[in-house]
Structure 1
Amino acid sequence: MPFETFSLTIENYVAQVVFNRPERANALNQTAWQEMKAIFEELDENEDVRIIILRGNGRHFCAGIDLELLMQVAQSAQKCEGRKREKLRRQVLDLQAPINAIEQCSKPVVAAIHGGCIGGGVDIVSACDMRYCTHDAFFTIKEIDMGMVADLGTLQRLPKIIPPGIAREMAYTGRNVSGQEAERIGLTNRSFVDVDTMLAEVMKIAQVIATKSPLSIRGTKAILNHSRDHSVADGLEYMATWNAAMLLSDDLTEAFQAKMQKRDAVFR
């Protein structure tokens, strides 16, 4: 289906989801938030997709929430203070949902970041499985400069990706973190000299992942996310239950047969 604020292509099991509002630095309006949720829910169910690359058109990756939408969220005609706060809470949860859909998507999501990754853009990449960037990329938790607390996932996810002290420094100061610093602190896996090099290398990684057992990749993501949020003991218990359900699969048989026959495995 066509989208107004994104472009979507699927080839050889690799989906490319592209922010497509370059004239607004890929700031996300109401339509974009709705489309992002729909896209990742759709790709989660699409058997022709095994991995997803998320990137932006134009000079920047994503400038976060569109200021016009932010103003709409801040305004309310509701006179009852209780109902006004209830509605605002619901609006924040609605804005969180598309980012949650990235994390909850069963396929790995790889962010390829150039230019600005600002405010809500950091929320989005924090929900991705892996992040790669260009040297000229910059990351900033801009909400602090707008008199706000970042509320779409950065403060919950980022301290589990980078050292908590660095996450706090970014959140308190709103300073720019360059692409090379992002690699150094573990915010991105690697930083590349330019966009073309980054996209070529990210595509190589995506193509490798796309050759693996789809069932095992989806299971690995689910286990990693569960382990992040639970104790080691809980994680091992969950792992045993998972493999009791999923281990004896056609993918396991195909992987063993391919190894014995000295050929590449072909998974359905």
Structure 2
Amino acid sequence: MSKACAGTSLITAADIRYTVSDAIFSVKEIDIGLAADIGVLQRIQKLVGNDILTRESIYTARNFSGTQAKDYGLVSRTFQSRKECIEAAFNLAEGNAAKSPVAVQSTKRALNYAKDHTIDDSLEWMANWNQSMLQTEDIIKNAMAMQSKQKPTFNDV
């Protein structure tokens, strides 16, 4: 996100968030007499993990910078320029796009499941999930590509 950011609610739905250090974040709905209603209130506490800081930011509707967003844990990386930020995001996306879509989606589901379940429940869920994942061709394709020192080509999910 760059400069004045009205999309704080939207970014809380993203798996990975980058920003520029001078971006401006806020949740302003309270200033117009509303409670934010498109997910930011439900997601941000789980992302930031600091209840009192979250409540202060939302109750006061104050702005906070990209640097502060990183300190709070809302974004994983900050950059000095928009160009650097976009370049890093595209590099990350290209790297992820080269991976098995089955593995990426499975990992996302496992992380989401583990967030609200015990370690034992999550391990059991993962073992069951991976049994079905063994039915895909991606593991074989990846092993063959590694052996031949080539990049694997995966089918879309």
For normalisation by structure 2, the TM-score amounts to 0.90
**Rounded Cα–Cα distance in structure 2 between residues aligned with 1:204 and 1:259:** 21
Percentage identity across paired residues of the two chains: 38
Between the two proteins, the alignment pairs up a number of residues equal to: 154
Match of 1:247 in 2: 134
Residue 185, structure 1, aligned to residue 72, structure 2: yes
Structure 2 counterparts to residues 54-203 of structure 1, below 5 A: 113-118=1-6, 121-162=7-48, 163-203=50-90
**Rounded Cα–Cα distance in structure 2 between residues aligned with 1:153 and 1:165:** 18
Cα 1:247–1:169 change in 2 (3 A) is: farther
Look up the equivalent residue of 2:21 and give its one-letter code: H
Look up the equivalent residue of 1:152 and give its one-letter code: I
Aligned-pair distance for 1:182?
A: 0.9
Structure 2 counterparts to residues 23-62 of structure 1, below 5 A: none
Equivalent residue for 2:104, pick from 217, 221, 236:
217
SS in 1 for 2:35: coil
Aligned-pair distance for 1:257?
A: 1.2
Look up the equivalent residue of 2:102 and give its one-letter code: L
Match of 1:234 in 2: 121
Look up the equivalent residue of 1:143 and give its one-letter code: E
**Rounded Cα–Cα distance in structure 2 between residues aligned with 1:156 and 1:262:** 45
Aligned-pair distance for 1:129?
A: 0.5
Match of 1:58 in 2: none
Look up the equivalent residue of 2:74 and give its one-letter code: L
SS in 2 for 1:115: coil
**Rounded Cα–Cα distance in structure 1 between residues aligned with 2:134 and 2:63:** 45
RMSD: 1.4
**Rounded Cα–Cα distance in structure 1 between residues aligned with 2:120 and 2:4:** 40
SS in 2 for 1:170: helix
Runs of 4+ in 1 over 4 A off after TM superposition: none
**Rounded Cα–Cα distance in structure 2 between residues aligned with 1:230 and 1:126:** 21
**Rounded Cα–Cα distance in structure 2 between residues aligned with 1:128 and 1:156:** 13
Gapped runs of 5+ residues in structure 2?
none
Aligned-pair distance for 1:117?
A: 2.2
- Note the alpha carbon deviations across 1:75-131, whole angstroms, 9 max, x for none: xxxxxxxxxxxxxxxxxxxxxxxxxxxxxxxxxxxxxx112223xx22211111011
**Rounded Cα–Cα distance in structure 2 between residues aligned with 1:226 and 1:247:** 19
Write 1 or 2 for the structure with the bigger share of strand.
Answer: 1
**Rounded Cα–Cα distance in structure 2 between residues aligned with 1:158 and 1:147:** 20
For normalisation by structure 1, the TM-score amounts to 0.55
Look up the equivalent residue of 1:117 and give its one-letter code: C
